[in-house]
Chain A
Amino acid sequence: MTVTRWFGLLIAVVLATATTSPAVAESYPSKPIKLILPYSPGGIIDYVGRQIAQYLGESIGQPVVAENRPGAGGITGTDVAARAAPDGYTIVLMDPAIVINPTLQPSMPYDLFKNLTTISIVSTSPEVVVVAPQLPVKSMAELVAYGKANPGKMNFASAGVGTTPHLAGELFLQRSGVTATHVPYRSIGQSYPDIMANKIQFAFSSIAGALPFTTDNRVRPIATTGTKRTPVYPDLQTVDEAGLKGFEVDLWLGVFGPAGLPNDVTTKLNAGLQKILKNPSLIKALAKVGVEPNGTAPEAGASFVKSEFQKWKKVIADGNIKPN
C-alpha cells in the first residue's frame, strides 16, 4: 500500500463517517462496502478475506474493501463492526474466536447475540493433528495409547490461551482421558520448530500452518478434525473415524454485520456470498489454505454460531480454563 492510498483511506473514512445517512435499502449497495478483518495481514482470515472481498465486489457491483483491524484476539475488529451503523456497509469476517471470546474474556465491549447479525458462515476447515516425528505414533489411536502409557509426559502446543488449537487440545484431553501439558505460543507456526525437536509432542494446527512442515515430513500429520476427510490429506483418518466419536473441530469463517441489519440487506449480502462461493476459481484459491466453501443461509448460520458457542463454553468450563 502506498502513502497515497493511506491518505485515500483516511479521506474515505472521514467522508464515510461524515455522510452517514439512513440506508436506502432498495439501492443497496450504492457505495463501497467495508469488510473488516480483525487480524494482522498474513493469516488465513487475511488471505480468505481479501479473496472474498475481491469476488464479492465483482458480484455485488460495488467494491468491497478489506481492512485489517487487528487487536485483542479479534475483539477490536469485531467491535468496530458491532458498533457500525446497521446499513450493510460495514461487515466483518471472523473465525471461532468470535464465539470463544465471550466465554473466556472477563469483559467484552459487545454482546455476541445482541449486537451482531450472522450473515453467512462462509467456509469450513478442519484442523490437522500433528505429532513430533520422533514419537512412535502413526495414528490417533496410537497417540491416545501413548498418552495413556506416559501420563503427564506429553506437551501440546497452541496459539495462545483460548485459541482454537488450545481448546481443540483440551477437548481431546477431555474426550480421551490423556493428560498433557499445554504450552502456548504466539502462533501455531512458532511451535513447529519445537514439535520437530520433540520438545512438543503434538498439536492441533490449522492446515495452512501445517502444510510447509508435513510436505517434507518434518512433522507427522496423523488425523484431521472434520466430519469428513479433507482433500488436502485424503489418507488421514478423521478423529471421529479413529474412535473419538463425534469429535469435531471446525476452523470456520463467518461474515457478520451489526445487529438490526435490514432483512433485504442481509439477504442481498448472503445471496452474493452464496454465489461467489460456487465460483470454481475462488474455491481453488481457498483450497490452497485447506479452506472449503460453505455458504449457509443467515438463519442456519445463526443457529450454527449458537451451537458453537455452547460447545466451546462447555469445553472451557470442563477444562476450567480462564485467564488467571
Chain B
Amino acid sequence: MDIQSYITLGFSIALTVQNILYCFLGVFLGTVVGVLPGVGPVTTVAILLPISFTLDPVSAMILLAGIYYGAQYGGSTTAILVNIPGEASSVVTTLDGHQMAKQGRAGPALGIAAIGSFFAGCVATLLICFAAPPLAAIALKFGPPEYFSLMLCGLIAAIVLARGSILKAIGMVVLGLLLGLAGSDINSGVRRFTFDQAGLADGIEFVALSMAIYGIAEVAYNLEKKEVATQVARHIGRVWPTWSDIKLCIPSVLRGTTLGSILGVLPGGGALLAAFGAYTLEKKIASPPRRFGEGDIRGVAAPESANNAGAQTSFIPMLTLGIPSNPTMAMMIGALMIHGISPGPRVMTDRPELFWGLIASMWIGNLILVVLNLPLVGMWVKLLRIPYGLLFPAIIVFCCIGAFAVNSNAFDLYVMAFFAVVGYLCLKLDCEPAPLILGFVLGPLMEENLRRSLLMSRGDPAVFVTEPISLAFLVVAAALLLVVAAPAIRKQREQAMQE
C-alpha cells in the first residue's frame, strides 16, 4: 500500500461515528483541562487511562491523543484572558497575549492562537504521515540490541533536556528505573522487591503511580499556592484578527510551526520546549517594529503554533520507535502496552489501522478544535470560575476510582497513596517527575532487551557495538553525555533553561 491508500484507510477509521465521538470527547476534555490551570493533560490522561482500556485500542488512542493536543489550544485561552498559563506550554503566551487582552484585543489574540494552532496542527499531521513510514522501515531491522541502545539514548536525552538541575534529573531517572524493577522478573520468574505482597507481584501499577504523581501530588502542590484572584479580561472584542494582523503573523506561524515540529520529535521535547524556543526565536528575528512583551500579536502566534506542532510531532518517536518524548507520551505507551500492543516500529506495519486512524483523527481533531474554540471562548471563561474546592476533591475521587478499576485491587490504592507522598516530596524538592516516569516506563523494557540481547548472543556484550544501528544510538548517547559533562555547554544550557 502507498501513503495515499494508508491515508484513505486512516480516514475510513477516524470518520466512523464512534471515533469521531471519541475524538470530539478527547479534544473537548483537552480544551477544558487546558483552560483550567493546575490540571494538565498528563493528569487527565492518567485519569482516563482505565476507561480507555475498555475501548478498542484505536478509539482509546484517539481519545487520549485528543486530550494532549486539545490542551495546547485550551492553555492559551487562560494565558491570554487571565494571565495564568492553563498549561506550562502556554507560559510564554501570557507575555504578549495578556497584554493584548488588556488593550482590549483579547479576541484577535485568541483568534490568532487558534488559527496558528490549526495551521501548525495540519502541517505536523502531514509531517507524521511522511516522516513516519521511512523511520518505521529502518525500525523493522530493530532487534533486542537496537531497542536497548535506543532506549538508553532516549533516557540520556531525557536527562539532558530536563528542566532544572541535571543531578536531580539523573536522580529521578534512576529512581524510576529502580521502581520499574519491582515485580516478577520475566527472565527468571523471581519476584523482586515485592515484600511478599501479591499486589506487587506484577510490579508497581503504572496507572496508580502516574495518577499519584501527576494527579494527587499536583493537587496537593497546587493547594499550597494562594489562589490567584482571577481577573478575567472583560472586553474580548471580535475574535477574527484583521487582515493586517494575519499578514504580520504568517512568517511567525511558519517559523513557529517549523521549530515546533522539529523540537517535538526530540526526546524530552514536546509542546513546552517548542513554545519557549519559538518565542525566543521570534524575539530575535521578527521584522521590526518589535513590541514583544507589550502585546505583539506575533508573540502569541509563534509559540502557539509551535506548541501545537510540537505536541503533534512528539507522537512520531512514540509511534515509530516506542520512545516517549514526554510524560504524556509515556502514558500513551503504557496504554498501548495494556492493550497488548508493544509500542515500536511494528505498530505501523502490524496495526496500520491504529497508526493511520490516529493520524487522521488528529487532523479531524484540529478541525473540531477550531470550531469548538472560537465560539466557545465565553464559556471557557466561566469555567475558570469553578472553585478549586470543588475541582480538587473531584480529581482525587477520579484518581481513586481509576487506580482501583485497573485490577479491581485495593492494594493499588495504597500504592497510589504512597506515591502521592513521594510525588509531593519530589515537587517540593524541585525534582521534575517526568524523568521518573520515563525511567519507570523504559527501565523494564531496557532490562528485558538487554538480557534478551545477551541471551541471543550467548553472553557476548559486543553485540551492542557490532550491530550498526545499535552502535549509532550508543554514539549519540555518548555525545549527549559529553554535552552534559562539558562545562561550557552546560552553562549555556542552564541559561537557556532559565529563560
Contacts and interface: CB of A to CB of B under 8 A. Distances in A.
Interface of A: 1-3, 6-7, 9, 40-43, 67-73, 75-76, 79, 104, 107, 109, 155, 160-162, 181, 183-187, 189-190, 193-194, 197, 199, 212, 322-324
Contact of B409 (A42, A71, A109, A187): A71
Contact of A42 (B141, B143, B340, B455): B340
Contact of A73 (B184, B190, B342): B184
Contact of A68 (B199, B342, B408): B408
Contacts of A69: 407-409
A104 B202 contact: no
A194 B143 contact: yes
Interface residues on B, range: 35 or more
A41 B184 contact: no
B339 A324 contact: no
Contacts of B496: none
A71 B199 CA distance: 7
A183 B409 CA distance: 31
Contact of B346 (A6, A41, A193, A199): A193
Given A1-B54, A193-B346, A161 B143 contact: no
A75 B201 contact: yes
B340 A67 contact: no
Interface string B180-219: 0000101111110000101101100000000000000000
Given A161-B186, A181-B455, A190 B53 contact: no
Nearest to A7: B401
Centre residue among B143, B184, B340, B407 by max chain A CB count within 10 A: B340
Interface of B: 51, 53-54, 141-144, 184, 186-191, 196, 198-199, 201-202, 338-340, 342, 346, 350, 398, 401, 405, 407-409, 448, 452, 455-456, 458
A184 B187 contact: yes
Given A71-B198, A183-B456, A199 B408 contact: no
A72 B184 contact: yes
B482 to A, nearest CB: 32
Given A41-B54, A184-B187, A199-B143, A72 B342 contact: no
B337 to A, nearest CB: 8
Given A1-B51, A76-B198, A184-B186, 12 more contacts: A1-B54, A3-B401, A67-B408, A73-B201, A75-B198, A76-B199, A183-B452, A190-B342, A194-B144, A199-B143, A199-B144, A323-B191
Contacts of B202: 70-72
A197 B469 CA distance: 15
Nearest to A162: B189
A72 B54 contact: no
A75 B197 CA distance: 12
B190 A323 contact: yes
Nearest to A187: B340
Contacts of A71: 198-199, 201-202, 407, 409
B143 A160 contact: no
Contact of A186 (B54, B186, B191): B186
A72 B186 contact: no
Contact of A40 (B338, B350, B448): B338
A285 B278 CA distance: 55
Given A1-B54, A155-B456, A194-B143, A324 B198 contact: no
Contacts of B350: 212
A23 B281 CA distance: 74
A104 B143 contact: no
26 contacts: A7-B401, A9-B408, A43-B340, A71-B407, A72-B202, A75-B198, A76-B198, A76-B199, A76-B409, A155-B456, A160-B184, A160-B186, A161-B186, A162-B189, A183-B452, A184-B186, A184-B187, A185-B186, A185-B452, A189-B342, A193-B142, A193-B346, A199-B143, A199-B456, A212-B350, A324-B188
List of 7 A-B pairs having minimum Cβ-Cβ separation, nearest first:
A161-B189, A323-B189, A72-B201, A1-B54, A42-B340, A323-B190, A190-B342
Among A72, A160, A187, A194, which residue has the most Cβ atoms of chain B within 10 A? A72
A259 B58 CA distance: 42
A6 B401 contact: yes
A7 B198 CA distance: 25
A109 B198 CA distance: 9
A107 B194 CA distance: 13
B444 to A, nearest CB: 9
Contacts of A75: 198, 201
B92 to A, nearest CB: 36
Contacts of B405: 1, 6
Given A71-B199, A199-B143, A160 B340 contact: no
A41 B337 CA distance: 12
A219 to B, nearest CB: 13
Contacts of B196: 107
Nearest to A189: B340
A155 B143 CA distance: 14
B455 A186 contact: no
A281 B134 CA distance: 44
A160 B455 CA distance: 14
A43 B340 CA distance: 8
B443 to A, nearest CB: 14
Contacts of B455: 155, 181, 183
A75 B184 CA distance: 13
B51 A186 contact: no
B338, B340, B408, B448 — which one has the most chain A CB atoms within 10 A of its CB? B408
B265 to A, nearest CB: 23
